[in-house]
Each structure stands twice: as structure tokens, then as C-alpha cells.
Amino acid sequence: MLSALIWIPIFCAAVIGLLPASVSSSRLRSLAIASISIVFAWSLYIATQFDVIDIGLQFQEDIPWLDSLGLTYRLGIDGLSLPLVILNNLLTIVALWCSDTSIQRPRLYYLLILIINSAVAGAFLAHNLLLFFLFYELELIPLYLLIGIWGGTRRGYAATKFLIYTAISGILILMSFLGLVWLSGSNTFEYNPLMSQGLPLTAQIILLGGILIGFGIKIPLFPFHTWLPDAHVEASTPISVLLAGVLLKLGTYGLIRFGLELFPQAWSVLAPWLAGWAVVSVLFGAFTAIAQTDMKKMVAYSSIGHMGFILLAVAAATPISLLGTVFQMVSHGLISGLLFVLVGVVYKTTGTRDINILQGLMTPERGLPIIGSLMVAGVMASAGIPGMTGFISEFLIFRGSFEVFPVQTLLSMVGTGLTAVYFLLLVNKVFFGRLPDALANLPRVSWSERLPGFGLALIIVILGLQPNWMVRWIETTTTAVINDFTTVAAHLPNPKTIDLPLTPAVSENPLPVRLN
Amino acid sequence: MVSTRARSKHPLAEIIETLESGGALLPDSEENVLEVVGVLKSYAVVLDAYSNNLNYIAEHQFLVLFPFFKYFNGDVSAKKLFQHWWHDRFNYEFAEYCMKAMFWHGGGGLDAYLDTPEFVALAQAAIGAKLKGNLLMQGLSKAFPEFLIEQVRLLAYYSGLGQFWRVMSDIFTELSDRYDAGEISSIPEVVALVKEGLVKSASLPITYAVNIDGQSYDILPKSAGLTFLMDTAVPYVEAVFFKSFPFMGTVSYNAQARAIPSEPERFSYGVLYADPLPVGGAGIPPTLLMQDLRHHVPEYLHQFYRRSLRGEEDLRVMICVSFQKSMFCVTTAAILGLAPHSMDTEDPQEQKANRKYLEGWMDKLTDSRIAYVQVCEM
């Protein structure tokens, strides 16, 4: 059942690769959209079949592969990965929809996007450390090529920087996985939350350090973030949507799945430091975003800040905060996807992203009033205005983290306020005022170009008003993760986490959080 | 004919020479003729409606304290009410906006007459008749004697503008008919026709009387000697084409911060100066006019707009640009009509006087959008 999510895109990628060069780019795009739409529909079907009160993995597939290496093809889905799998498919459709049909080498382009979709789905579904690593690495080369071939003027630099950073990330993660397996005496890379429990705390901390830095590069967290703004600026709009919306989530997903869950004891020791790291990342991202003049860079630095919220919430590791992390992953995927789509339309029609050049785009007839209105909605969502997903996720994170790390949470909340500062600056400069004569003859924006923005904005509002439609898939898993974590972490005295009440198993008692 | 005149040193010397040689403020081109005539054809329909409503308000809503149905022209029915709410109607508010610009900036014989004791006496008589038996209003009128007189002044402007636009609507209808008949094919011909219409109606008397309880009360009697050209057309051009008001929300009304001139005489926010780009936005008055015009734009002009970069999306801005061009033609007609001597005079003294006269107009137009219409951009 889950394999279809991985192999349909691969199969379609192969078909696209084998099609004759005479097939038009728009047909290739339609084919790619159709294939991912099937996968998207399949993921929604899986969601309907998903048992929301089951704390374990569902729809498991376990096929022996290379036993001698401990590598098995083991897939499974839970409340942590299900929303991300759906998000992956949704944003891939958006990215394909936004792709320019006049691009060069369209077969390679669509083939690479489909491979990324497959690899990301595989990474979210894999329950074998080595299998996860393979999928995690699989998306690197396609993304490198997508930036390097179809990127901006400094695409070579940006693509290489991305590759080097994320390759180091992969190496660190692989080393930690290998260390964990070898030191624990296991002969398999099978995912097992109890793996690290026999290890000395120092060894656990070292291994967790590798995981943290590895995924910290991917997320990215300060000071490992420098590849991201360059990659975003040089990448085309669809690639930025995928990068911010989906690929960064591999890092935050990894943080929970392979950091918090595999190393609960070490995590509880490092948690205060991680919360401090989150604050630095949040504030750095926000303050740097204020200084940007390129709209895309501003959104990119905003991502760094918003990803910091996730680290804070995972560090706090309370049922509410962990629920908030998953909500924030989806929320940020939707909001950053929306913002990058809109920035892409602005760039395509005006030829610039410089907020000091752009002005008055909200002008009703000659400007981009609909794009401007969607941008206002997007920045409101990003700044955490109630009624949109950004508010729900940030509220959950702050509410859940405050009881454990009050100071760090308050400092992170400053980051939310700063989000409003830099995005209002952006909206004010770019969309309000008089449209300059140089921009008075902008080309028409088609409804097709507006459609992804409308779709994403609609989902942002719907989930903002009715968050329980998503929370119900997530909360059983996140609460179970916290149960395991607190049970294990309680064996290790820690002034921050020892006082946490042991949350009862979800199946026995109602959750402390209900959103409606 | 080779011009023997010395070259003007004015920044708009080229325009002056164009006018002297029979040209217009707007360059002559097939496209410009199509835009100007097309938009004026639509404007004729809109002006007709505006004019009828202004006259209706002046005559039938005289000192009505709460004129809820002033835009209904006497036809108050459920159907009309729903059409009004559905916005299937003319934006008469724009007519009032122009009227208030005239009222505020004043100028001309109408403005002067409204400050005379004769007018006050006539207004008092009409007010007295209107308030007969209304003790409350009589008391209020006694407490604030200037209030109702000022309202009558305003109603006189309703009537004055209504009468002015009646004439203009007919001129533009004739222009369109003659264009459709193939008799008009250049901008100078458009200007000549408008000028001819203005001159023909120049001495048309502007009068205003209201009927109260079966008796007619003069407000602007014929004896006041108010005429179409000098007492309504010229003040209208001054107030609406040149001065007007800045669009609310686009400029701060702060004279101390020099956001606007401290003297209303130095205002330059009229049709010839207005920025067409904000049109379409809420709170931008020309949006109302362009919205009305778009319903009556002839098909040939609509097709022309459809071929533009934005197609139907920026129709109101495109109409505004065409409208601005047409108003430069009307201004040309007014300039030529008011010139001290004919532009084709051979007399050097007359030529000199004309040159001085034109330079005076060009001083006012230096900061207008004349440069934009010269290059046919937007």
C-alpha cells in the first residue's frame, strides 16, 4: 500500500525519461501532475484508512533486501509521517503546476522532480535506518541538478554549496546510525527506539550530536544555514516551493524520529541547550530577514526562524509542543510554499524581487492586486494571525514549551513579533504606495498562475479554523512518543525534564489538548 | 505655410507652436481619434444621465433635508431600489464630486452672483416659501441664517453644472455621430467641432428657478446675465480640469507639511493632472466615472482595449487614459475659443498677443500629464 507512494513517481519518472524528445513540455508537465495527483489521492485514501487511535506503525511493509548489511525494505506510517507524506504530494503538485512550460530539457526536469517526490516519501516512510539514509541521500542529486541547471545566474555556486552542506549532513547522520548500530551490538539497521538504552550517556550524546548537526544542516539551524538563502535565491520558484515546503521537513522529521525517539536520555540532557540553540536560530533568522532586500531571501531567512520554533518544541518534548512541531511542519510547508509561489509570480511579471524597486503592486488594475492580497494573507499566516495555521502551530509550540523552557519560549515569541515586522515591511514597500511608471505595464497574470496561491491560502485558512481535522491524525503518535520519552528520560535525573508528569497512555485517558 | 513667428522660450514651446499652426494639445493620430471619439461617445451618455440628475436634484430636491432618493429622478419603486442596491445605476456621486469642486474653487460670474444681495433676497424668498408651516425649520433657519442660503448656493451649482453638461452631452453626441458618418477623422477636426459647439452655446443663459406650491421662485434669474461659456464652462475647466482636489488616501491634506499647496488656487489635481494608475481603487473618485463609462464604451473602442497588454483587466485605467486625452482636446477647444485672436492671424501684434496668451496656459500645463499624452504611452 505504501510502496505505491514511492514507486508510482519513480515509474512515471522512468516513463517521462523514455518518452521521445518531441513530446511537448506542457504534456510532460500534465503527465507529471497526473501521476502525482494519483499519488496524492492515494495518500488521502491512506489517511481515510488510517486508524487514528493506533499508536503503532500502520500499513507496514517488510521485505528482506540485504540481510548481511542489516538493510530491509521496511515501510510504515504513523501520525508523524502521514501529514508530511500528504504535504509532500500536495506541494509537488503545486511545484509542477508552477513550472514554466518553456524550460529547457523538460524531460530531465520533470523526471528529477518526480524522483525527489519519491525519495522524500521514502524517507518519511522508511523504518530502517539505512533505508532512510538511502532515501535521504537520493533527493540530493536531483535537487542539486534542479538548482544547478535551471537556477539563476549564480546557480553553480548555490548548487555546489547545497551539495557540500547536505552531503556533510548525510555523512554525519550515517556515522551516527553506524555508531548506534555498532555500539548497541545490533546486527540490523532496523528502527528501534530502545537501541540506545544500553549505551553510556556520553556515547549517546556524541551520537545524538552527529544527528543534531546533520539534521541541523538540513533544517537549517544557525550557524549551518548559509546554504539555504543562496539555494533559494538561485532556485526557480517550483524548486523553492519544494525546498522550503518539503525538503527542510526531512530535517525536522529526522530530529524527532532519530533524535528524540532514538536518544531520549541524551536528548533530555541536551534539551536546555537545544532550546537555547532554537532561540538563537529564531532570532537570527528574524533579524536577518529584516535586513533583506530580496523578497526570496527574506522568506528564506523567515524559514530559518520558523524552523527554530520546531527545535524549541522538540527540545521541550511535551505532548502539546510535539503536536505543535508536526502542525508547524505542515503549516510552514503550506505558508512558505504560498509565499514562494507568490514571490515567483511577482518576479516573473516584474523581473525583480528587490523590495526597494518594487512598489504599489496592490494597484487595482495595473498592479497585481490578487497576488498582493494573497501575499497579505500569507504573511498574516506566517506572523501567526489567528484563524490561520500559523497561529495554531505557534500557539501549540509556545503553550507546550513554556512550562519547560519559559525564558527560551518568551525569547522565541519575540521572533513571532519580528515576523510581523519584516513581512509588514515587505508588504508595505512592495504592495502599497503608487505603482512606479516603470511597472505600469506589467503583463497579465493568468488564473492558472493564481490557482496554486488560492489553493494553498484556502488550506491555510481551513486548517486554521478547523485544526482538529489535522490534529486527530497526529496526536496519538506524538503523545505516544512523549510517553516513551518521559518514561526513559525519567531514569536520568535532569532538572528540566524530571519534573514532567508522566502522561498516561493515550488509549487509556483523554489527551490534555483538544483544539475544539 | 512657413511660420514667421520667433521661437518661444517656454518649456512647452513645441506645444505652443503646434497650437499656433492649427494643432491640438493631443497629437493627431488615428488611434488618438478613435480613443477620444469613442470615449466621448460614452461620456455623452453618462453626462446626459448626470445632467438630468443634477437638474432633478436642483429642481425637485430643493432643501429636502434628507434627500434619500435624490438619485432616483423621481422614480422610487422597489425595482429601482433593488437596481440601486445591486449597483445597476449611474454613479451620480461623481457628478456631485465635480459640482463640489466647482463650488469650492468658485470663479466666474456664477460664483460672484451667489454673493450678491440680489441672490440672497431671492434665496430668502424661496426658503420662506419652502419652510412655510414648518416651525422647527423656521426656528433653525433663524438661529443659523446662513445655513440654508449656503444650501441654495450649492443647489445653484447643481443646476449650473447640470445645464453645462446638458450642452456638452449634446456636443459629444454630435461628435460621435459625425465620426460614425465618416466626417471626422483627425484630432484638429474633433477640437474644431467642440470649439464650434462651445462658441455656439457661449451666450446661452444660465437660469434656475424652483417651483414651490405651484409658484415659481427664481434663484438665478435671466436678469443676472449668467451665460454658458464664461459663467459655467470656464469655471468648470478651472475647477475640474485644473485645480480639483487630491485623491483622498493618496496625498495627505497637510498644507503645513507642504503635502498640498497652502492656497487652493495653486491646486493642480484636475483631470489634466490626475494619475490614471490608482483608478479602480476604492475612494478614488474617477473610478466612479470610469465605471460608468465602461458600460457605454462603443465596440470599436472596446476592441482596441482588448488588444492591450492587460486586455479587459485594466479597462478602467485604459478608459481613464483615453478620457484624459479627450479632455486635452476639450481644453484645446476652450483655449482656442477664448484666444484673443484667431490662431491663423497674420497680424504680428495679434500673433504676439496669442503667443502671450498661450504661454500663460502652458505655464499651467507644465506639470500636467501633457508629456504622457504626447508620447501616447500607457
Find out whether A76 and A57 touch, Cβ atoms under 8 Å.
Answer: yes
Residue A258 amino acid letter: F
- For B334-357, what is the mean pLDDT? 91
Find out whether A1 and A61 touch, Cβ atoms under 8 Å.
Answer: yes
Output the nine-digit C-alpha cell for A38. 494519483
Find out whether B241 and B327 touch, Cβ atoms under 8 Å.
Answer: yes
Output the nine-digit C-alpha cell for A21. 524528445
- For B67-96, what is the mean pLDDT? 93
Mutate to test the interface with A, among B247, B250, B251, B277 (most CBs of A within 10 A): B277
Residues of A in contact with B314 (CB under 8 A): 365-366
Give residue B235's pLDDT band: very low, low, confident or very high (50, 70, 90).
Answer: very high
Instruction: Please confirm whether the linkage preceding A443 is cis (ω < 30° from 0).
Output: no
Nearest to A227 by CA among A173, A286, A168, A313: A168
Give the residue from chain A lying closest to B310, CA to CA. Answer: A444
Contact (CB<8Å) A444/B313: yes
Contact (CB<8Å) B277/A443: no
Contact (CB<8Å) B315/A365: yes
Closest Cβ–Cβ partner in B250, B311, B317 for A366: B317
3-class secondary-structure state, position A101? coil
Q: Is the pLDDT of residue B95 over 80?
A: yes
Cα-based distances in Å from A404 to A275, A384, A501: 10, 22, 11
CA dihedral A6, A11, A16, A18 (to 10 degrees): 140
Output the nine-digit C-alpha cell for B138. 423656521
Give residue B250's pLDDT band: very low, low, confident or very high (50, 70, 90).
Answer: confident
Give the residue from chain A lying closest to B281, CA to CA. Answer: A364
Provide the domain count of chain B.
1
Give residue B251's pLDDT band: very low, low, confident or very high (50, 70, 90).
Answer: confident
Output the nine-digit C-alpha cell for A152. 539563476
**pLDDT tens string B147-195:** 999 999 999 999 999 999 999 999 999 999 999 999 999 999 999 999 9
Q: Is the pLDDT of residue B267 over 50?
A: yes
Residues of A in contact with B309 (CB under 8 A): 441-444
Residue-range domain boundaries for chain A: 285-516
**Interface residues on B facing A, Cβ-Cβ cutoff 8 A:** 250, 275, 277-281, 309-311, 313-317, 378
| pTM across the whole model | 0.87
At A504 the pLDDT is 40
Beta-carbon contacts of residue B341 (< 8 Å; ≥ 6 apart): B347, B350, B351, B353, B354
At A491 the pLDDT is 59
Q: What is the pLDDT along chain A (516 residues), one digit of tens a residue?
A: 889 999 999 999 999 999 998 889 999 999 999 999 999 999 999 999 999 888 888 888 888 888 777 788 989 999 999 999 999 999 999 999 999 888 889 999 999 999 999 999 999 999 989 999 999 999 999 999 999 999 888 999 999 999 999 999 999 999 999 999 888 887 778 887 777 777 888 999 999 999 999 999 999 999 999 999 999 999 999 999 999 999 999 999 999 999 998 888 899 899 999 999 999 999 999 999 999 999 999 999 999 999 999 999 999 999 999 999 999 999 999 999 999 999 999 999 999 999 999 999 999 889 999 999 999 999 999 999 999 999 999 999 999 999 999 999 999 999 999 999 999 999 999 999 888 988 988 888 999 999 999 999 999 999 999 999 999 999 888 888 888 777 766 655 444 444 444 444 334 444 444 443
Distance from CA of B245 to the nearest CA of A (A): 17
Distance from CA of A419 to the nearest CA of B (A): 27
At A341 the pLDDT is 96
Q: How many residues does chain A have?
A: 516
3-class secondary-structure state, position A174? helix
Q: How far apart are the first and last CA of chain A?
A: 32
- Give the number of A-B residue pairs with CB atoms closer than 8 Å: 39
Residues of A in contact with B311 (CB under 8 A): 444
Tally of CB atoms within 10 A around A21: 7
Tally of CB atoms within 10 A around A82: 24
Query: Count of alpha carbons within 13 Å of B295, Cβ hemisphere only?
Result: 13
Contact (CB<8Å) B281/A434: no
Contact (CB<8Å) A444/B316: no
Contact (CB<8Å) A364/B378: no
- With pLDDT > 90 as the criterion, what percentage of chain B qualifies? 78
DSSP class of B248: B
Residues of B in contact with A364 (CB under 8 A): 278-281
Distance from CA of A20 to the nearest CA of B (A): 36
Residues of A in contact with B279 (CB under 8 A): 364-365
Q: Is the pLDDT of residue B6 over 80?
A: no
Q: Tell whether B231 is covered by a domain.
A: yes
- For B97-122, what is the mean pLDDT? 95
Distance from CA of A279 to the nearest CA of B (A): 40
Q: Is the ipTM beyond the 0.85 threshold?
A: no
Range of the domain at B203: 13-63+89-374
Distance CA B332, CA A504 (A): 87
Distance from CA of B247 to the nearest CA of A (A): 12
Beta-carbon contacts of residue B291 (< 8 Å; ≥ 6 apart): B91, B316
Closest Cβ–Cβ partner in A360, A366, A434 for B314: A366
At B264 the pLDDT is 85
Contact (CB<8Å) A440/B278: no
At B125 the pLDDT is 95
Mutate to test the interface with B, among A349, A362, A366, A368 (most CBs of B within 10 A): A366
